[in-house]
Structure 1
Amino acid sequence: MSHRIVVLYYSRHGSTRALARQIARGINAISGCEALLRTVPDIPPSAEPPSDPYLTYDELKDCDGLAMGSPVWFGNMAAPLKHFWDASTPLWISGALIDKPACVFTSSSSLHGGQETTLQTMQLPLQHHGMLIVGIPYSEPALHTTQSGGTPYGASHFATVAGQLSTEEKTLAQQLGQRLASLSMRLNPAVKH
């Protein structure tokens, strides 16, 4: 039996997927927790198979926590993720996600390309679902020294080369995953899976 933490992401060129994998490493480092890497379909649908399975609403309903990531698209989350949340009304009506911890992460191709606005706007549907938002506290030393990605709102990556994370970006993503998993266990010590 383990706490299942969904790591949901959409990635166009691999950078957001690389962050998702580091967050999953952080989650899996906490004894009793398991990261489920999931993605969403392209809009319009792509002919290429996804790198990870598509998230189902049943998996989301049954998760013990959520990490959600998107590349920066005009300072907001990518349309495929927005589409996924727009269809989540049945979970909202039932209150299935209330009091579950959640965090967000992003990547951009320019340093000031909208990372913080994307992280903040990704939090909005999660808050409407009653989820508890987890950030990165300044007690994490890498947050003070990073020269690329990483914010108190969530993990981030400045994609100078797609998918090649800096040491600080990897550290911050793993720490965010560990924090999310630890809080999940504290909030719901009775595992149901």
Structure 2
Amino acid sequence: MKVSIVFYSTYGHVYQLAEAVAEGAKGVSGAEVGLYQVAETLPKEVLEKMGAIDARKAFDHVPQASVDVLAESDAILFGTPTRFGNMAGQMRSFLDATGGLWKKGALIGKVGSVFASTATQHGGQETTITSFHTTLLHHGMVIVGVPYSCPELSEMGEITGGTPYGATTLAKDDGSRQPSENELAIAKFQGKHVAEIAAKLA
């Protein structure tokens, strides 16, 4: 059973979630887990002005995703930052290249799940994930979120990301806040839960 985690990360927050998702998925017997990053579309000069170059070095080693990876997977977890309540343009560009898979029905019946980051607590965490689901439904995927059997979803003692639609983190508008232990625990739960569902459907 192949579980693929396909993410785009600007400052490393989504990458950290992706690592936690992978850790959770690897805990499921028979799961072969792969981590892939979506190609950057911004010029290096723009990334330098954004202060993103150094942060991105942490995941330079992660191979680039291709649409073939999706077709070969039993479950796919997508990670994206939020851009005005929607997925990042880099992820949108990647998904827009999957028309051939759609035409062949290559993703029908595969498990799909989404996790995300936002700058602020109410910066579109839920809309980013639920709007992402529209593309997965067009591909005929089986959408899986995070059930409330994940205790960290009910944490009220601190500001935290995490939704029943998927794991999330809060990055602050300058990217200085890093994923919390609670947020990473939700991401790990999501990876394990998705892999378990995929195993049942295999």
Pick aligned residue for 1:57 from 67, 87, 93: 67
Render the CA deviation track for 1:91-137: whole Å, top value 9, x for unaligned.
00111111111110001111111111101111111110000110111
User: Any gaps of 5 or more consecutive residues in structure 2?
Assistant: 46-52
Q: Does 1:118 align with 2:119?
A: no
TM norm structure 2: 0.87
8 Å CA contact 1:20, 1:69 repeated in 2 = yes
- Other-structure match for 1:178: 192
TM-score after normalising by structure 1: 0.91
CA RMSD of the aligned region, Å? 1.7
**Larger displacement relative to structure 2 (38-47 or 80-89):** 38-47
| Structure 1 residue aligned with 2:50 | none
The residue type equivalent to 1:143 in the other structure is L
Look up the match of 2:108: 98
Structure with bigger helix share is 2
Q: Secondary structure at 1:90's aligned position in 2?
A: helix
Percent of pairs with identical residues: 39
Question: Where does the alignment leave 5 or more consecutive residues of structure 1 unmatched?
Answer: 189-193
1:157 aligned residue: 169
Q: Secondary structure at the match of 1:179?
A: helix
Conservation of the 8 A alpha-carbon contact between 1:14 and 1:163: no
Code of the aligned partner of 1:13: Y
Please identify runs of 4+ aligned residues in structure 1 that moved more than 2 A.
44-51, 160-164
Q: Does 1:130 align with 2:124?
A: no
Asked whether the 8 Å contact 1:10–1:81 carries over to 2, the reply is yes
Structure 2 equivalent of residue 166 of structure 1: 180
Alignment length (residue pairs)? 186
